[in-house]
Amino acid sequence: MLRKWIVSAPSNIALIKYMGKEDSSLNLPANSSLSMTLDQLCTWVEIERNSFGSDGVLFIPELPRELDRSFNPTVPALKEAGVQRMIRHVKRVQESVHSLFPQYGLTAEAGGQIEIRTANTFPASSGIASSASSFAAVTLASALAFCKDPDLFQKIWQGNPEFKRDLAQISRQGSGSSCRSFEGPWVLWEGATATPVKSALPEMTDLVLLISRDSKEISSSEAHSLVRTSPLWEGRVARAQERIGALRTALASGDRIAVSKIAWTEMWEMHSLFHTCEVPFTYWEPDTIRVLRWLRGILTSAPEWAPPPIVTLDAGPNIHLIVESSQAAEWKGLLKEKFPDLPLLEDTQGSGVKAVY
Ligand code: PMV
């Protein structure tokens, strides 16, 4: 029998960063992290399972066949190591569901040939974290493909948040930050588990200034271990944990000024870890510094019409400004006027991975 599943999962952007691992085989973090889940900047995954085929997982570098093409999807340019990592993850899901499914009254069905096709809705090498969105999508799609009763699966997925969190834990083992893409809009990842947190902020929009599309010289996996060689690593976990507490309070009360200050300090700290490790490195480009200098002025005296933006950078040169959706047009206008040479991506907050069909 041939069955097909299509799943879409958004990327997420962290305000308190996952940087440094406690256990690298399980991707357990040194400190908790807190992020906003995006909506349209996502990965689509199509999985086909032919239960009569010989056992195996194939990654096909083509667009999913049944896909809405209106958003100009691109096939991620995965190197062989990336393909193997994805295939290993599908096998991890296959093994993990054997013990997970019975806890929810589901039956796992192994074997057969699996074909995976994926597409991103954001341009290739745009600095959007594609490992978070692709691993979240591959986890849900393959869990569905290995389930004997997909209708019951969907019911439990929709009705029981614990099931979603258990699948997020499996996803985390493939790519740490992917566990935060299972729910939204604001998600705390603590130890093994990611859960949503309360926020009194209005709907938010992420505006991304694209400084460079080049692929990273230092992968985030390398960065996770290099930061431990920085003299600033001492005390890092305690500082991040303290910031998590402060950010949760600020989000719960909708204190935009405090959220913005915490995110700005945390971003500088993560990049300072990169700049001070044993063999220092940077993700910044000259334009990153040009924009950060301008933003420093904006953050010390925000325009009258808006509270300060929430500014952050991932392990890359591109700059995220998270602003109220109702003021996104004004911010876009200002950014286009100040930096007409820099392309801009835009997305709102979202609610996490979902099965499309
Ligand atoms: O999930 P990874 O191993 O790609 O690590 C992501 C690390 C950062 O993007 C830099 C920070 C974060 O918390 O998303």
Q: Per-residue pLDDT averaged across 140-157, rounded? A: 95
Asked whether 21 and 30 are in contact (CB, 8 A), the reply is yes
Task: Tell me the CA–centroid distance for residue 291 and ligand 1, in Å.
Answer: 22
State percent of the chain over pLDDT 70.
Answer: 98
Query: What is this structure's pTM?
Result: 0.96
Q: Per-residue pLDDT averaged across 57-67, rounded? A: 87
Closest alpha carbon to 3 in 128, 153, 205, 155: 153
Task: Tell me the CA–centroid distance for residue 220 and ligand 1, in Å.
Answer: 6
Reading the block at residue 347, the tokens are 């997305």
Q: Which of these ranges, 105-114, 162-171, 233-242, has the smallest mean pLDDT?
A: 105-114
Which of 177, 224, 243 most suits a substitution to test ligand 1, by most atoms within 8 Å of the C-beta?
177
CA distance 13 to 312: 8
Task: Tell me the CA–centroid distance for residue 18 and ligand 1, in Å.
Answer: 5
Closest alpha carbon to 272 in 34, 14, 27, 19: 19
Band of pLDDT at residue 93, cut at 50, 70 and 90 = very high
Band of pLDDT at residue 232, cut at 50, 70 and 90 = very high
Residue 274 has pLDDT above 80, yes or no: yes
Asked whether 315 and 220 are in contact (CB, 8 A), the reply is yes
Please spell the DSSP secondary structure of 251-297, one letter per residue. HHHT-HHHHHHHHHHHHHHHHHHHHTSSS------HHHHHHHHHHHH
Q: Per-residue pLDDT averaged across 189-206, rounded? A: 98
Residue 152 has pLDDT above 70, yes or no: yes
Task: Tell me the CA–centroid distance for residue 269 and ligand 1, in Å.
Answer: 14
Task: Tell me the CA–centroid distance for residue 177 and ligand 1, in Å.
Answer: 5
β-strand pairing of 113-120 with 56-59: parallel
Give the single-character DSSP code of 308.
P
Task: Tell me the CA–centroid distance for residue 142 and ligand 1, in Å.
Answer: 23
Confidence (pLDDT) at 137? 97
Residues 6+ apart with CB under 8 A from 103: 166
Task: Tell me the CA–centroid distance for residue 234 and ligand 1, in Å.
Answer: 20
Q: Higher-confidence residue: 126 or 346?
A: 346
Question: What is the SS3 assignment for 231?
Answer: helix
Atom of ligand 1 nearest to the CA of 27: 3
Residue ranges lining ligand 1, Cβ < 6 Å: 14, 17-19, 33, 129, 131, 175-177, 220-221, 314-315
Atom of ligand 1 nearest to the CA of 175: 1
Q: Higher-confidence residue: 23 or 66?
A: 23
Confidence (pLDDT) at 148? 94
Residue 126 has pLDDT above 70, yes or no: no
pLDDT single digits (tens) 310-343: 999 999 999 999 999 999 999 999 999 999 999 9
CA distance 30 to 244: 13
Residue 114 has pLDDT above 80, yes or no: yes
Mean residue pLDDT of the chain comes to: 94
* Closest residue to atom 7 of ligand 1, CA basis: 18
Confidence (pLDDT) at 279? 96
Atom of ligand 1 nearest to the CA of 131: 4
Q: Per-residue pLDDT averaged across 9-38, rounded? A: 97
Which of 314, 319, 322 most suits a substitution to test ligand 1, by most atoms within 8 Å of the C-beta?
314
Cα separations (Å) of 198 from 92, 186, 222, 251? Answer: 32, 7, 33, 7
Confidence (pLDDT) at 65? 82
Residues paired with residue 127 on neighbouring β-strands, in sequence order: none
Residues paired with residue 311 on neighbouring β-strands, in sequence order: 321
Reading the block at residue 287, the tokens are 């334009």
Residue 276 has pLDDT above 70, yes or no: yes
For residue 148, count CB atoms less than 10 angstroms from its CB and return exposed for 0-12, middle for 13-18, buried for 19 or more. Answer: exposed
Band of pLDDT at residue 79, cut at 50, 70 and 90 = confident
Confidence (pLDDT) at 127? 63
Band of pLDDT at residue 52, cut at 50, 70 and 90 = confident
Task: Tell me the CA–centroid distance for residue 331 and ligand 1, in Å.
Answer: 26
Atom of ligand 1 nearest to the CA of 13: 14
Task: Tell me the CA–centroid distance for residue 4 and ligand 1, in Å.
Answer: 30
Q: Per-residue pLDDT averaged across 44-54, rounded? A: 88
Residues 6+ apart with CB under 8 A from 236: 20, 30, 31, 227, 269, 273
Q: Per-residue pLDDT averaged across 242-258, rounded? A: 97
Residue 67 has pLDDT above 80, yes or no: no
Q: Higher-confidence residue: 73 or 297?
A: 297
Which of 19, 35, 128, 226 most suits a substitution to test ligand 1, by most atoms within 8 Å of the C-beta?
19
The distance from CA 77 to its chain's CA centroid, rounded to whole angstroms, is 18
